[in-house]
A = this chain, B = another copy of it.
Amino acid sequence: MQSIRQEGSYSYLFSRYAPIVATVEPGETIEVFTEDAFSGLVKEETDLPSLLNRPGPNPQVGPIYVNGANPGDTLAVHIHSIEFTRDHGFSQISPAFGGLQATQFTAMLHPPFENQVFKYIVDGDRIYHPRHPHLAFEAAPFMGTIATAPKLEAVSTLTPFAQGGNMDVPDVKAGNTIYLPVAVDGAYFFTGDCHARQGDGELCGTAVEITGKVTLSFDIIKNMRTSWPRIESPTHYMTVGSARPLEDAARIAWCELIVWMEELGWDRMHSYQMLSQVGEMSLGNIVDTNYSMVAKIEKRFADYFLKNAE
């Protein structure tokens, strides 16, 4: 199995302009080793991220070239497993980044918060803070970041956008398939930002950040043009919209889910009606440069026409 570790520096951009770190065939299973969101520079609670000289905000492995992927295709990313490669993770309260604080974009006159780091022990399925026992919960690993490269732009790895990116959506986890639009030959796949666990929203701006090994494989759906990321779990179809304000993220996700239902045989107005009764929507993130919302429908509902056409 091909084992991919970033050669040289990590990527702090989703772009077609970086040198390719690996080439993969459709169907091939690979493992990718990812750095944590602090570029590994936080080692103790006294290492305040606001004082560190970091090369960038969110290091990624990539671009990975997927043979046969072309613009207008959709890349299916099957996540087989996510394992931690360290026995501890870090979170923080940031000075001016978080869902309940003034930030660069929701600018206010309040003084920033004091930077505070939390070092969590990760022991199998258990995550806990040794000095604050109330900060304890089960592991729930997922990849905060997963993307293909834009046609033209070089996008900050802090940003979630139409081709994925820093969505911080807990459904990007083992057992699920992520569908991403392909805009350049080879797709130029990136992933990183492994989270040992995160609540909906990544409220304070930082999950339990950890190094990881993600095992995955790709399929290429030829001539299948998608506009926004999609996620398929054993039970659900999901779409992710990333924008501001948050209702625009929601609108994008709902519209893309309706497009998906149309592909599955639904009439547009009937899918609108059906989602009004059975749709689900959870918050992805409310802290990044775009906010993310996840629209969901159970497959047992959405697959009606597939099943009845058989």
Closest B residue to A135 by CB, please name it. B274
Known: A102-B102, A106-B106. 17 other contacts (CB 8 A): A13-B154, A91-B273, A91-B277, A93-B273, A100-B255, A102-B108, A106-B251, A107-B256, A109-B272, A127-B277, A132-B270, A199-B276, A199-B277, A199-B280, A203-B275, A204-B273, A250-B286
Per the bound structure, the CA–CA distance linking A247 and B304 in Å amounts to 34
A276 & B100 in contact (Cβ 8 Å cutoff):
no
Number of A residues contacting the other chain (C-beta, 8 Å)?
82
* Contact string against B for A residues 97-123, beta-carbon threshold 8 Å, 1 for contact and 0 otherwise: 011111001111111010010100000
Tell me whether A282 is interfacial, beta carbon within 8 Å: yes
Identical chains in the assembly = 4
Nearest CB of B to A310, in Å? 15
Is A252 close to B, CB under 8 A? yes
Q: Which residues of A contact B (CB under 8 A)?
A: 12-13, 15, 17, 56, 91, 93, 98-102, 105-111, 113, 116, 118, 127, 132-135, 137, 152-156, 197-208, 241, 243-248, 250-252, 254-256, 258, 266, 268-270, 272-283, 286, 291, 293, 301, 304-305, 308
Determine the residue in chain B with the shortest Cβ distance to A247. B246
- Which of B91, B197, B201 is within 8 Å of A250, CB to CB? B201
